[in-house]
Chains A and B, each alone.
Chain A
Amino acid sequence: MPQRTARVGDPVGLHLRAASRIVQLAKQFDCEIHIEYEGAQANAKSILGLASLVARHQEPLQLIVEGPDEEAALDALVDLIEVGLASEPNKPTGQS
């Protein structure tokens, strides 16, 4: 089973909106995709599973894939998690 690590690029962490984008992308692949973080594992096609990981900015997620399009899924998801999520910076809230 191919695996790879991706660090959460979104400054706000793996919050709902970021998780939604991951689920939407994961669903486009036929293979099974699981994400491991701090000993917990979630199905990347399950929004509640991903949200329950409560992973923060820059923390490492372990992606584990199995199925026909596993390599393509890995590439696309790592890119989204590390770069895509970071590309729409949520401004840190609060002044000084």
Chain B
Amino acid sequence: MQPYHGISASDGIAIGPAFVWRKSARRVDGRKRRRGSAREELAQLESAIESTGRELGALREQLLQKLGPDQASILDAQLLILEDEDFLTEVRAGIDAEGLSAAASFARAMAEALIPLNLSGDGLFQERMSDFRDLEQRVLRALAGEPDPTPELDEPHVLIASQLTPSETAGLDISKVLGFCLEEGGTTSHVAIMARSLGVPAVVGLRGATRNIPSGTSCAVDGTLGVVHVDPTLETLHRFEARIRRRRKVEEQLLNLKDYPAETPDGRKIVLSVNVDLPFEIDLALESGARGIGLLRTEYFYFQSTNIPGEDEQVAAYTRVIERARGESVIFRALDVGGDKLISSMGGYREYNPFLGLRGTRFLLSNPELLRTQLRALYRSSSAGPMKIMFPMITGVEELRALNVHGREVREELTKEGHTFDAELEVGIMIETPSAVALAPELAADCDFFSIGTNDLTQYVLAVDRGNPKVAHLYRSQHPAVLRAIRDTVKAAHDNDIWVGLCGEMGSNPIFAVLLVGLGIDELSTHAAAVPAIKKVIRTIPYDQARAWADEALSLSTSDEVDAFLKARAHERLRDFLDMD
């Protein structure tokens, strides 16, 4: 059978028999009348609620034991619904006054309660609806007198399911789960987070897995590459076993690279830096052997307090960051909100298409006071050590010009007020939109560096929402259209004598990193955990060869071709230390 390709949600590999959990949702006719008296039906409702409460209470206890209070509290909301008197009053009224069955009345009251969430158009709120649905299914099952369908695994299995809710994962005996293969769900779903924290490999986005993989079939799960081999050949099995041994050896080797530069054997130096969300991650970044912070997201400073932080408060916070980086450069990205990153009600209007809405630099320019305060704070912090400023999501030259005017005025103000700052401080922009790629030559003339944000760039170039499970498999940064956008951006930067970095997730993949070096990227900013492996590939493949890889990849027409080509090359050159087939 052809291997299944999904999305890696938790690293590692596992081999074992499949257990397919096919779940069937109970559907209820919302107009179904009760057969017996209201009293009997109400008694049934109370007993179903009580037994569901006991069931969930036991699951909560298991989650608490296995994963701690944070994960256990996920079930609190479901338990509170069972105690929600307003809601239960509605359910009882449906049974008593309207003559509905308990199941029909429960389902109808739940559907009514969920209407505002449905209408909100907000993915984060809608995501939580699965918790409500999960509870509803439990109560409906209890009313029908059906037992909890959670499979009891007596032997270790690879678990295959459409998706798993928190309460479903809680009920599983995880010690019997070798790996997870799920049709739906992203890498931030509850089960993905749990799999990572337990070190169990997981692959999500495997379309058709529950239909096409029979229970009992042998499965080799590759959580690192997001591939599942069904009924693997003896050869695949040997490869997997060899990989497990290699993984251990390589981990030891990589630790020794910390103090070596990220330089190719033929002498091209790459600045290898790290993306940072929270200030404490700076220590991890530096320990990993990275040079500097390639992306410091300033959202944290805004989300942390209930008020928008003032200028002095920001100066203090940014100065602490610079000091913590111990002389390595820090690239501060101006506040980047909107889209998938949430923001206060500064705008107020609910966007139906936030990724195409008021976000990034658009947001900054429409809130000039907030922008000026942050710019003043950033410039003032620059006397504490090396730093740069970068602006998010630019779509046109006029935006960069407007930002530069603000920057100039802020510098003039600060000079007048007698503040000291780094007058030579570099100001760059993120290249994340197709329009910025097209206008890269003009933009390059007006700034000091580019940083390519491949996550958003991929999303905008391919018109794919990476959070939408129906199209997430189409989100691939190795798509030729994305690679060509990167090529054009690099050329525009170098033609204008500015440097170009990259700070998307793509840069944290060692195979893609070779390609990116070959495409001419000067700086790679990755996850701290990826630094040793990225450094190792840079120190292994000469720049000449990386360029040949890039040229070849650019000549291909589909993501699959690029993938196959890169895998073949990596197999020849990198398999000794990469966790791959």
Contacts and interface: CB of A to CB of B under 8 A. Distances in A.
Do the two chains bind?
A: yes
A47 B77 contact: yes
Contact of A16 (B128, B432, B456, B504): B128
Contacts of A11: 303, 342
Nearest to A49: B86
Contacts of B343: 57-58
Contacts of B80: 20, 23-24, 47
B124 A12 contact: yes
A87 B308 CA distance: 15
A59 B345 contact: yes
A82 B344 CA distance: 13
A52 B344 CA distance: 18
B355 to A, nearest CB: 11
B464 interface: no
Interface in B446-504: 453-456, 503-504
B128 A15 contact: yes
Interface in A9-29: 9, 11-13, 15-17, 19-20, 23-24
A48 B76 CA distance: 13
B351 to A, nearest CB: 11
Contact of B295 (A45, A91, A96): A96
B85 interface: yes
A13 B345 CA distance: 10
Given A52-B117, A95-B504, A7 B306 contact: yes
Contacts of A47: 77, 80-81, 84, 87
B113 A92 contact: no
B306 A83 contact: yes
Interface string B293-314: 0010101100111100000000
A82 B305 CA distance: 9
B77 A52 contact: no
Nearest to B109: A48
A63 to B, nearest CB: 15
A54 B345 contact: no
B74 A17 contact: yes
Interface string B510-527: 000000000000000000
B342 A13 contact: yes
Contacts of B344: 56-59
A54 B128 CA distance: 11
Contacts of B115: 52
B275 interface: yes
A89 B125 CA distance: 17
Interface string B268-310: 0000000101100000000000000001010110011110000
A92 B299 contact: yes
Interface string A46-81: 111101111011111000000000000000000000
Interface string B83-123: 01111000000000000000000000000011111001010
A51 to B, nearest CB: 7
Interface in B363-405: none
Interface residues of A, number: 38
Interface residues of B, number: 52
Given A51-B117, A93-B188, A96-B295, A86 B306 contact: yes
Interface in B187-233: 188
A58 B117 contact: no
B561 to A, nearest CB: 26
A95 B77 contact: no
B340 interface: yes
Contacts of B297: 92, 96
A19 B87 CA distance: 15
B73 interface: yes
Interface in B232-276: 275
A43 interface: yes
Contacts of A7: 306
Contact of A53 (B116, B188, B340, B430): B116
Contacts of B81: 47-48
Contacts of A52: 113-117
Contact of B86 (A20, A46, A89, A91): A46
A50 to B, nearest CB: 9
B505 interface: yes
Nearest to B80: A47
Nearest to B79: A20
Contacts of B453: 96
B32 to A, nearest CB: 22
B409 to A, nearest CB: 28
Interface string B406-447: 000000000000000000000000101000000000000000
Contacts of A15: 124-125, 128
B432 to A, nearest CB: 8
Q: Indicate the member of A49, A82, A83, A95 with the most B CB atoms within 10 Å.
A: A95
A57 B305 contact: no
A94 interface: yes
Interface string B329-357: 00001000001111111100000000000
Contacts of B454: 96
Q: Indicate the member of A23, A57, A96 with the most B CB atoms within 10 Å.
A: A96
Contacts of A19: 77
Nearest to B305: A86
Nearest to B341: A92
B131 interface: yes
A65 B91 CA distance: 26
A12 B342 contact: yes
B542 to A, nearest CB: 29
Given A24-B80, A47-B81, 11 more contacts: A9-B306, A12-B124, A16-B128, A17-B76, A45-B86, A46-B84, A52-B113, A53-B116, A54-B120, A58-B306, A92-B303
14 contacts: A13-B342, A15-B125, A19-B77, A47-B77, A48-B132, A56-B122, A56-B342, A56-B345, A92-B303, A92-B340, A92-B342, A93-B340, A93-B341, A95-B505
Which 8 A-B residue pairs are closest in the complex by CB-CB distance? A58-B344, A47-B80, A96-B453, A52-B116, A11-B303, A46-B86, A48-B113, A16-B77
